[in-house]
Amino acid sequence: MGKPYDDVFDIQNESYYCSELVYEAFRDKDGNPLFELSPMTYKDPDTGKTFPAWETYFKNLNVEIPEGKPGLNPGGVSKSAEICIVFRFYQP
């Protein structure tokens, strides 16, 4: 591909993170993405505070946490109506 990994998870820059590549790779016949973007969060749902690991991660990159910016993650992809699970590696 010739593009660097997107360490800051910015879907609007010229690099790609894992789920962003999936988002761009899978489109319908009209070129529309199959997966929906959602506001990203790095906060603990119980406390509403940013997880310390994410604070450290983005601080080390010298960028603001992209809280609320559009994006996609593996969990969101897995919950999409476009995905059909054909095999489970474990039983929940």
DSSP 8-state assignment for residue 67: T
Mean predicted lDDT score pLDDT of the chain = 92
Q: Does residue 91 carry a pLDDT above 80?
A: no
Q: How many CB atoms lie within 10 A of CB 35?
A: 20
pLDDT (average), residues 63-73:
96
Residues 24, 33 contacting (CB under 8 angstroms): yes
Q: Domains along the chain?
A: 1-92 (3.90.1720.10)
The verdict on pTM exceeding 0.85 is no
Q: What are the backbone angles phi and psi of residue 91, rounded to the nearest 5°?
A: -105, 125
Residues 51, 43 contacting (CB under 8 angstroms): yes
CA distance 76 to 36: 8
Q: Does residue 28 carry a pLDDT above 70?
A: yes
